[in-house]
């Protein structure tokens, strides 16, 4: 979201912080191998909202309620 320049600036900042973010994810999630991170500005508003909801659930340490489905309640 934001102007094209704001999106480009955000992507540049995320890419600059990629190594730090990978290190933090590996440490906090206790991963031996951390997947490569890839950032895109093309998230639609509904996908961004869904991603935010998923990240909040992860932060609270709450798994999906239905492991058979790939959706949040």
Q: End-to-end distance of the chain based on CA atoms, in angstroms?
A: 25
Question: Is residue 58 within 8 Å of 65, Cβ to Cβ?
Answer: no
The answer for 37, left when phi > 0, alpha when psi is -120 to 50, beta otherwise, is beta
Read off the pTM. 0.51
pLDDT digits 0-9 by tens, 1-49: 677 788 889 899 999 999 999 988 888 888 888 888 888 876 566 677 7
pLDDT: which is higher, 21 or 59: 21
Distance in angstroms (rounded) separating the CA atoms of residues 49 and 42: 13
Q: Residue 56: pLDDT above 80?
A: yes
């Amino acid at each position: 979201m934001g102007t094209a320049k704001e999106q480009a600036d955000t992507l540049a900042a995320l890419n600059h912080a990629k190594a730090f973010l990978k290190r933090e994810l590996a440490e906090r999630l206790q991963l031996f191998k951390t997947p490569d991170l890839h950032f895109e500005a093309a998230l639609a508003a509904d996908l961004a909202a869904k991603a935010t909801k998923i990240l909040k659930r992860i932060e609270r340490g709450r798994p999906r309620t239905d492991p058979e489905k790939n959706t949040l309640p």
